[in-house]
Amino acid sequence: DKLAVFWHEGMLAHDAGRGVFDSGRDPGFLDVLDQHPENADRVRNMVSILRRGPIAPFLSWHSGRPAHASELLSFHSSEYIEELVQANATGAKKFCEGTFLNPGSWGAALLAAGTTLSAVKHILDGHGNLAYALVRPPGHHAQPNRADGYCFLNNAGLAVHLALDSGRSKVAVVDIDVHYGNGTAEGFYRMDNVLTISLHMRHGSWGPSHPQSGSVDEIGEGKGLGYNLNIPLPNGSGDAGYEYAMNELVVPAIDKFQPQLLVFVVGQDSSAFDPNGRQCLTMEGYRKIGQIMRSMADRHSNGQILIVQEGGYHISYSAYCLHATLEGVLDLDAPLLDDPIAYYPEDERYTMKVVDMIKNTWKESVP
Ligand code: 6DK
Ligand code: ZN
């Protein structure tokens, strides 16, 4: 069974601008501004590694499509959609810090939502068990009433609603983007048929961390009490910490909930090299998380997983981590792709040995 990749190059038309890492003052402090971290190039590299990397034979490619405005109302309010349509008609609008709707953005956002719907429909219609929506702009901060954190439409949330409407009675969302999936959590906060789980940077563990919520005591409300699991992890958490959190928290929660569909919300900004995160996952950790997700899907949802793309800002390592994650989900016998960057020794005993050697050499060579 191949993993179906849903993609549409129209999503490259969203240009979020430049310079979000400068001071925000006018004039800024810097002459050379970086691209907005959520740029088209990062996704171009994801497309190319999936087409040209060793995973290519295990994938099939499918075109995405724009969502109809009416399809957005399962998750979003009509007032908010009207606000987006107006902003697009007017030209451009800054919704909040780092979140710019420019000409081309609305078309891309509609494609991201529609492409995610196509991906989940592929599973719901029985065409395959594994589908990946390679989409931008991202969605997991987008709330029913509000754009937030580079996101306009909650792509994964819309897919969850389509699954529910198609007769799946329980859906679980596991979000490993380094930021809290606050929009998705909010959309399902009062529901007991959608279990939302997010692993993310603990608020306060790093200056500009986003959003300012996601603590462990936010567990849902009303009927939804106990159906939102937040796993805020300390700064610097890596492969071992994430695997432990998956096995000790996520797996038992999913086993108890017994979802009929798993939605795996992925962001490669939990990697060790991401400018927008301070966690330390490597390809190995991503591969392991992918494997764990697959084993849960095999146990509960007939192997069915919808994977939805969110953040991931290192221009090359994000693509590699995506490759590793999908390898894990495919449950291949051996890793297909070596890590080009990350190498960590077990501990620093070797460093100390080297320091001792230098100390001796220095002593012997100085007259
Ligand atoms: N910084 C995402 O990866 C988006 O989760 C992350 C959005 C991070 C926003 C960081 C931010 C500030 C805030 C105030 C002042 C300066 C900098 F949605 C995803 F793309 F997936 O706001
Ligand atoms: Zn993120």
pLDDT in tens, 227-280: 999 999 999 999 999 999 999 999 999 999 999 999 999 999 999 999 999 999
* pLDDT value at 209 more than 80: no
* pLDDT value at 191 more than 80: yes
ipTM of the complex: 0.94
Ligand having the closest approach to the CA of 178:
2
Q: Ligand 1: which atom is nearest the Cα of residue 140?
A: 18
pLDDT of residue 276: 94
Instruction: Report the SS3 class of residue 7.
Output: strand
pTM of the full structure: 0.95
Q: Cβ distance 299 to 339 under 8 Å?
A: no
Hunting for tokens 């997010």 — which residue is that? 198
With the most atoms of ligand 1 within 8 angstroms of its CB, the residue from 23, 141, 321 to mutate is 141
- Peptide bond connecting 137 to the previous residue in cis, omega within 30 degrees of 0: yes
Q: Ligand 1: which atom is nearest the Cα of residue 181?
A: 5
| Cβ neighbours, 10 Å, residue 226 | 13
> Residue 225 contacts by C-beta under 8 Å, 6 or more apart in sequence?
219
For the Cβ of 200 lying below 6 angstroms from any atom of ligand 1, the answer is no
pLDDT of residue 20: 84
Annotation marks residue 141 as catalytic: yes
pLDDT in tens, 297-318: 999 999 999 999 999 999 999 9
Q: Ligand 1: which atom is nearest the Cα of residue 310?
A: 21
Element (H, E) at 251: helix 251-257
* pLDDT value at 351 more than 90: no
Domains of the chain by start residue, with CATH: 3-365 (3.40.800.20)
pLDDT of residue 346: 66
Q: What is the DSSP string of 205-227?
A: SSTT-S-S---TT----GGGTT-
For the Cβ of 150 lying below 6 angstroms from any atom of ligand 1, the answer is yes
For the Cβ of 37 lying below 6 angstroms from any atom of ligand 1, the answer is no
- Over range 153-178, report the average pLDDT: 98
pLDDT in tens, 100-133: 999 999 999 999 999 999 999 999 999 999 999 9
Q: Cβ distance 116 to 133 under 8 Å?
A: yes
d(CA 74, CA 165): 10
Q: What is the DSSP string of 300-321?
A: HSTT-EEEEE----STTHHHHH
For the Cβ of 75 lying below 6 angstroms from any atom of ligand 1, the answer is no
User: Any idea which of 16-30, 105-119, 145-159, 324-338 has the lowest mean pLDDT?
Assistant: 16-30
For the Cβ of 311 lying below 6 angstroms from any atom of ligand 1, the answer is yes
pLDDT in tens, 46-77: 999 999 999 999 999 999 999 999 999 999 99
Q: Cβ distance 209 to 342 under 8 Å?
A: no
* pLDDT value at 345 more than 80: no
pLDDT of residue 208: 72
Element (H, E) at 198: strand 194-201
